[in-house]
Amino acid sequence: MTTKNHTTQTPKVIKREFEGTVVSAKEQKTVHVRVETVKMHPKYKKQYVTSRKYAVHDEKGTVQEGDVVRFQECRPYSKTKRWFVISVVKKTA
């Protein structure tokens, strides 16, 4: 008789990542980031831009308005914050 040692592994959760522009950095440890996406109209085939704002957690507080940041999904920090800053892609002067 052979017994196999089965190890239970939790499934790897794929977390969403976005890149957007910081539109507000007035709060402590929170920045508001606008993400723009290009969509196509189903009937007329014209492209148009939609945007959405996310409340993102910034632990160090180094991000300023106008910066382009990458952020990832995480556990809820508050009622509206479910994202945190991974890196700053482009700093403003």
Q: Which two tokens stand for residue 78?
A: 């508050």
Q: What's the pTM?
A: 0.81
DSSP 24-55: EEEETTEEEEEEEEEEE-TTT--EEEEEEEEE
Share of the chain above pLDDT 90, in %: 81
Please report the domains of the chain, with CATH numbers, ordered by start residue. 17-90 (2.40.50.140)
Report pLDDT digits (tens) over 47-74.
999 999 999 999 999 999 999 999 999 9
